[in-house]
Structure 1
Amino acid sequence: MNMEIAGNRVSRTRIRYRNAVLLGCTALVALSPAVSFGQDASGSSSATTLTPIVLEGSGSAGTLDTSNDSKSVVATQTTGVGKMPTDILTAPASVSVVTSKEITERGANSIEQVVQYTAGVITDYYGSDDRFDYFKIRGFSPFTYRDGMAIGRSWGGLLEEPYTYERVEILKGANSTGFGVSDPGGSVNYVTKLPKSERFGEVYGTGGSFAHKEAGFDFGDNITEDDTLSYRLTGKFQRSDAEYDYSQNDENFIMGGITWRPTDTTSLSFVFDHLDRDGTPSSGGHPRFTDFDRDKFFGEPSYNYNTANRNTYSVIFDHDFGDGLTFNSSARYSKTDTGFGYAYIWDALGASDPADTMLDRSFFGSDKSSEQFIVDAHLLYETNFNDVESRTLFGVEYNKLDSNNATVYAAAPAIDWQNPIYSGGPGALAPYDTAESNQKTHAIYFQEDLTFFDRLTVSIGLRNDWFDLKEVGNNLFTGPYSGESDISKFSKRLGLSYKITDEFAAYASYAESVAPPSAGVEPTIGTQYEMGVKYRPDAFPALFTASVYDLTMENITTYEAPTYLPATIDKVRHRGIDLEAKVEVTSNISVIAAYAYIDSKIDEPGNISGYNGKAFAQVPEHMASVWGTYTLEGDGKLGDMTFGLGARYVGSYYFDNANTRKSDGAIVFDAAFTYKVFENTTLQVNATNLFDEKHIANDDGGAYYYNPGRTIMATLRQTW
């Protein structure tokens, strides 16, 4: 299900509040500013005085300030908890922000690589299947959002381009009040690169493993002398193979944006971007009970495609009315066409019988087109009442998504695993399933943060979604089908955060999530209880977070091999611990570290599926990672040199909900080296899976899928 939410860009401006009478609750003031301000001015002498607040920054109070993201791996502000820009220290939730600096220094060129050093996140659990961004947060596939507006689930969605975004915000745990539809494991918000009111830019070229060739640019400037009109142009063009034979990994990406600032309190941005991918979905898997190199191909060269074409138009408007009241409205229209087709091994015996060298295979393909329009608008009102600071947000959202999908599935000719001879593609295949889906969502939401004596913050989130879902289709196995749902679902969140000192805070929260999967099916719902502590020292940029949680997801639809037909599980419960640190110890040393523990259990009292008491698939009990950089400053003749080294540990996990097949734990190392050739010129070398560690990331019962192998990339970058 694709639904979205507008996570705002957030930055703060200087605001001076007039003395006033607080005649009603802050929410009502936000909804009727003209009336309440008039009453304030004529208040009696007995009125309580509101003290002025001075907030430093750029832009309006309702927009996210990302100006430091290119300079530091430590973020201090986020919209990950909701649509209000929030100090991460006092936000009563576990939020990780991957800034553009971290993305660049780790050389992350996929969303999986962007998030893989985040506590509670597992990536690459489908191995050499390259169709989607495969990652889970706290054991569940997340919903993703762009600028707070929903895109859809990562599993089954389009491969996003990280170069599009200024930062990636990862919220762990349930929170439909903040973003809208989601699963309880967490959500991811991508923040788009927007024009700046200054001249900047970079161009780069990259080459490396698997005939990889890439060029990109990101630059902008003011068009007018008074800085009221600015532009930004971003692009990436890639030609490459994948790590297996008969593969490719090509991409064309271009994005242009323009921002108009007619006054210091108003901005209007328009962004267009085009993403075109032409790749291959998979090596077809490797025979079970063998240990072939990753480049071995058991699919069909003539039926092996994975394409995506998306055009997106975004508009973002901000206005600061003064006296603490700001308005934000965002809208996006996107048209997407995707498709894949490939042959894959499905043979449970694999190569276990030396006398039988033939492997059963299947053809699998899908072609999908979709159009989405989503718009979000909200008011934010900030004020003081004696020793109480109040921030109130009220908003509405509309989301319309229409899609058509045709899926093909058929038996493919067997292949000899000792001497593969390809038999060609399937020719014309009649779809085994066709579906037309129409989804409309209306939502109204309310968020309130009250801070008492600059210590205790009470955070409340309320949201109601109205889902109008229609679906018609035909399935060769089950016949024609249709469904309609008209659902109203209310979700809520309550969080408490207490600043024990100016550097140390403790929090607790309760949050709910809702995500209807398709028409005629009960909504997937989730709840989470969480407690944690955060430490942000004043001495140097850093954020340390520790949290414990208990989350439950109900009415889960799963898809397991070989047919991937939907099956329902009553309830899954995850209890766990997340530890994370992002630290810039000195100007030349930084460390990112994470650890996660998850106790996963399927709770199905009637044991209808036979999974009761089992662990949910692809949820490791233990995960840990560390990434560190050290910069050796040059002496005038030699430029600065930065050395980076990382390690990622993923504990064992079950491949299936029946818990019959299990992975081995593994450690993978990454490395980076950057040399400052000239003042604005750098040469950077990144290696992922440095020692080419190999393990089975997925065994679906019919084939093995290995983790990605070693890649080495060299990038020459010029900035200004």
Structure 2
Amino acid sequence: MKKINMLMVAVLVLLTGISAQPATGYIKGKVTTADDKPAEGVTILLKNTVKNAVADNSGNFEIKNIQPGSYTLAVSLVGYKDAEQEVTVENGKATTVSFQLTLSNRELNEVVVIANRNSFKTNRTSNSLRLQSPILEVPQNIQVVTAKQISNQQIFDMLEGVTRNVSGASRVEHWDNYARITMRGSNVGAFRNGMNVSTAWGPLTEDMSMVERIEFVKGPAGFMLANGDPSGFYNVVTKKPSGRNKGEVGISMGSFDLYRASLDLDGKFSEDGKLLYRINVMGQLKGSHRQFDFNNRYSVVPVLKYLVDDKTSVTLEYTHQFSEVNVIGSNYLFSKKGYADLPRDFTTAEANLAPTKMNDKSLLVILDHKLSNNWKITAQAAYFNYQQQGASLWPQWPVAFDPQNDSILYRGMSIWDVLGTSKIGQMFVNGEVQTGAVSHKILAGLDMSNKEYYHDWNQGGALGGEFNIYAPAYGNATQPVFDRTKNIRERGVRYYDGYTGLYVQDELGFFDDALRLTVAGRYTTLKTGDVYSGDFKSSRFTPRLGLSYSIDKNTAVYFVKDASFLENFGSDWQGKSFDPITGGNIEAGIKKDWVNGKWNSAVSVYQITRNNVQTTDFDHLNPAGGYYTRQSGQQKTKGVEVDIRGQIVRGLDVIINYAYTDAKVTKDSDKEVIGTQVAGSSRHIQNAWLNYRMDRGALTGFGISVGYQYQVKRSPWYVFDNSKNSLPDYFRLDGSLSYQKEKIGFNLVVNNILNKYLYSGAPYEDYYYWQAEPGTNMRFSVSYRF
């Protein structure tokens, strides 16, 4: 460990000691759209070098410290030919150029998704969020995790360090397939390309090889797309064809027998450039710091896009992800004495247990059509199919430990097969009109969703006999036999959730759009059912009011008040479905771009109320293990969030965020829990990630990164009573060294540099359970772009 720390210090000293630089020139210029508006956020590449620049809010860019010679500048466009210019750089002189894009300003949001690969900051959301305004002007806190951040931190899936890049977000626990992300006091919804894909279990979390960016939207989101939790959601935007012939191959190796390879191919199928394609393929073999544990995955994601004409395009995307893991639950540790009582490599699993296999398949179709220069319609439909066959480990029920000996655990093993299908359809219209001195940005649409879910956990038994957690003996355990002769639709428990939503939004602009008033409403009908209580419907209108004012072109303040209405998965001890979750949100904030858009900051304050939340039902035991949940109560969350991201000085990109979250139970049938901290929340979360890359001298292309995650006053996610059962503070330090030489890149990431015992967990019955993270571990990746 000392060697790693000394290496980091030595590199920093070396970087600060470089002074002599050869004579160079530089390029400066401006990028505008076809309607002469600044093309903010677009990346300008100096081909065959590692140098690039991102256009600021005025469309201006500058690339410094370039060796004299002839070069080609390029701007990446989605679905169109690259815009390129030949330039000559001379010693000590500035070369001035200008670009005018062939796309209109309304289509620029699609360009930015591809073009900002070299920045920690972006100015716009993806088209799947349906917003026509820059993030600075939207009356809501939206944070985007860009492709550069994902690559720089070597994040392979949503179960890893994505949340460190967003204020107040944390991953409290996982089951090898589905990321439980908490934000603003509750679990947030999982979206993919603007569609709510959340179910009670699944689908398989996205591998980053297929991901272009991840958008975290704070607060209710029913005004602009499918139902969202009052606390917000994250939207995974998958890679689409760019219209450029390019590709990238990557190979990674690391601790715990990690072997991974990925391929990204992007290009044109037809000579006329109308038929575009993109395919991402990934394969991974991954061990673990725990015995017998593994997670082997592969994914294949082909995408076709056909440009019918200059007004219409059709996109077809197929996703197939597969994961094979050890029996679910093997990543838990159990003890009567307290948290962290066992080594972090401990497991209750055996070497001969059949693996759990997960298949996630989906098909997405998108139709985009420009009705006119000011109006556009988008229609998209998707089908998701998630299948799981495997088992789950947990202590036996109702007696987990020997009453006479806290060392003896009775292991239980139950079947866990899942079938989940989702059918989702969306259609929305974006447009702009002018009425006198008032501008209008109109959004109107229809959302429909139908989710059916079966799971079988009702077969099980003991896994071997007595098991001493302090002196485990493996290899002699017998396991229960499961009967799968019946289809899961016959033997599983069925749940059904669906909704239909109609919405309309008008963003009115006054005083040359300096003042923006958003008025919106949504009418949603929820359909819920199960085998016990049958189907029922519930409908509600949820309004939204937002106000945003630009103090100047780089500073905006906002206020928003809105409501939410969404499905409440599961059932109580009688098998009755829960009533929908309702909630309200009040939020205000200020956003500012600094140095004309090089970096930005956002500060927000909010209060969220959530009704009909589920809590643990300690009065009724579940024969399959544990307690049922009940619908009883209300939670209120107040908080402050601060986000800073972008290039602070030349070569230094940063992510710095902080969140204060005061989440409490305000109503409950159990009076004793009123006033307690909401399970799964953390009072204080502060993260940072700094990346410095040399762009001149002998070390051009060399980079160093360092970052940490810090959480204070963490509550267990399962149940919390404000007692000593709270989790300890969490601090994790990570870092990386990287080097980019023209088309080839190298990246070494070291996680948990301080080798701390880090975990999350909860009290459960009369014992504790937790998941322990690995100690110091590393990954080394090589990538080649062509």
Q: TM-score, normalised by structure 1?
A: 0.86
- Aligned positions of 1:59-208 closer than 5 A: 60=107, 65-78=112-125, 82-126=129-173, 129-152=175-198, 157-208=203-254
Match for residue 508 of structure 1 among 559, 562, 568: 559
SS in 2 for 1:715: strand
2:164–2:170 Cα contact (<8 Å) kept? no
**Counterpart of 1:623?**
685
**Counterpart of 2:492?**
434
- Distance apart, 1:300 and its partner CA: 3.8
Matched residues in 2 for 1:359 and 1:572: separation? 36
Q: Which stretch shifts more, 689-698 or 211-220? A: 689-698
Note if 1:220 corresponds to 2:266. yes
Matched residues in 2 for 1:679 and 1:348: separation? 61
- Distance apart, 1:402 and its partner CA: 2.3
1:135–1:154 Cα contact (<8 Å) kept? no
**Counterpart of 2:784?**
718
1:303–1:343 Cα contact (<8 Å) kept? no
Matched residues in 2 for 1:652 and 1:273: separation? 39
Note if 1:382 corresponds to 2:432. yes
Matched residues in 1 for 2:188 and 2:641: separation? 17
The change in CA–CA distance for 1:288 and 1:260 in structure 2 (over 3 A counts) is same
Match for residue 522 of structure 1 among 556, 579, 582: 579
Matched residues in 2 for 1:356 and 1:397: separation? 53
The change in CA–CA distance for 1:468 and 1:540 in structure 2 (over 3 A counts) is closer
Amino acid at match of 1:414: E
**Counterpart of 1:285?**
333
Note if 1:659 corresponds to 2:722. yes
The change in CA–CA distance for 1:165 and 1:598 in structure 2 (over 3 A counts) is same
Q: Which stretch shifts more, 135-144 or 155-164? A: 155-164
**Counterpart of 1:640?**
701
Note if 1:689 corresponds to 2:752. yes
The change in CA–CA distance for 1:193 and 1:172 in structure 2 (over 3 A counts) is same
The change in CA–CA distance for 1:569 and 1:615 in structure 2 (over 3 A counts) is farther
Q: Which stretch shifts more, 517-526 or 659-668? A: 517-526
SS in 2 for 1:603: strand
SS in 2 for 1:134: strand
- Distance apart, 1:60 and its partner CA: 3.8
2:712–2:728 Cα contact (<8 Å) kept? yes
Amino acid at match of 1:441: Y
Matched residues in 2 for 1:373 and 1:81: separation? 17
Matched residues in 1 for 2:104 and 2:670: separation? 56
Matched residues in 2 for 1:356 and 1:332: separation? 51
**Counterpart of 1:576?**
639
Matched residues in 2 for 1:154 and 1:428: separation? 23
- Aligned positions of 1:224-623 closer than 5 A: 224-280=270-326, 281=328, 282-289=330-337, 291-303=341-353, 305-345=355-395, 356-408=406-458, 410=460, 412=462, 413-422=465-474, 423-428=477-482, 434-453=492-511, 454-472=513-531, 481-518=532-569, 520-558=577-615, 563-604=626-667, 607-608=669-670, 610-623=672-685
1:80–1:170 Cα contact (<8 Å) kept? no
SS in 2 for 1:573: strand
2:203–2:360 Cα contact (<8 Å) kept? no
Gaps of 5+ in 2: 1-31, 37-100, 570-575, 619-624
**Counterpart of 2:5?**
none
Matched residues in 1 for 2:35 and 2:479: separation? 65
The change in CA–CA distance for 1:372 and 1:540 in structure 2 (over 3 A counts) is closer
1:400–1:440 Cα contact (<8 Å) kept? yes
The change in CA–CA distance for 1:59 and 1:114 in structure 2 (over 3 A counts) is farther
The change in CA–CA distance for 1:247 and 1:284 in structure 2 (over 3 A counts) is same
SS in 2 for 1:231: strand
Matched residues in 1 for 2:161 and 2:469: separation? 35
Alignment length, in residue pairs?
Answer: 660
Q: Which stretch shifts more, 495-504 or 107-116? A: 107-116
Gaps of 5+ in 1: 1-11, 17-53, 473-480
Give the structure, 1 or 2, with the largest relative contact order (CA under 8 Å, sep 6 or more): 1
Matched residues in 1 for 2:581 and 2:354: separation? 34
Alignment deviations for residues 108-167 of structure 1 (CA, whole Å, 9 cap, x no partner):
11214353224444434237x534212211121111211111101587543222222211
- Distance apart, 1:192 and its partner CA: 1.5
The change in CA–CA distance for 1:89 and 1:351 in structure 2 (over 3 A counts) is same
Matched residues in 2 for 1:266 and 1:649: separation? 47
The change in CA–CA distance for 1:333 and 1:81 in structure 2 (over 3 A counts) is closer
**Counterpart of 1:27?**
none
SS in 1 for 2:223: helix
Matched residues in 2 for 1:575 and 1:552: separation? 9
- Distance apart, 1:81 and its partner CA: 10
Amino acid at match of 1:523: P
The change in CA–CA distance for 1:325 and 1:356 in structure 2 (over 3 A counts) is closer
Amino acid at match of 1:89: L
The change in CA–CA distance for 1:58 and 1:90 in structure 2 (over 3 A counts) is closer
Matched residues in 1 for 2:455 and 2:628: separation? 15
Alignment deviations for residues 43-70 of structure 1 (CA, whole Å, 9 cap, x no partner):
xxxxxxxxxxx99657747857412231
Matched residues in 2 for 1:98 and 1:560: separation? 37
1:513–1:527 Cα contact (<8 Å) kept? yes
Matched residues in 1 for 2:631 and 2:671: separation? 8
Q: Which stretch shifts more, 314-323 or 523-532? A: 314-323
Q: Which stretch shifts more, 333-342 or 613-622? A: 333-342
- Distance apart, 1:625 and its partner CA: 0.5
The change in CA–CA distance for 1:61 and 1:209 in structure 2 (over 3 A counts) is closer
Task: State the superposition RMSD in angstroms.
Answer: 2.9
SS in 1 for 2:561: strand
Q: Which stretch shifts more, 318-327 or 362-371? A: 362-371
Matched residues in 1 for 2:356 and 2:563: separation? 36
SS in 1 for 2:379: strand
1:81–1:175 Cα contact (<8 Å) kept? no
Alignment deviations for residues 536-590 of structure 1 (CA, whole Å, 9 cap, x no partner):
1243521200001110111012358961422223101110110110021234111
Matched residues in 2 for 1:585 and 1:351: separation? 55
- Distance apart, 1:511 and its partner CA: 1.5
The change in CA–CA distance for 1:306 and 1:469 in structure 2 (over 3 A counts) is same
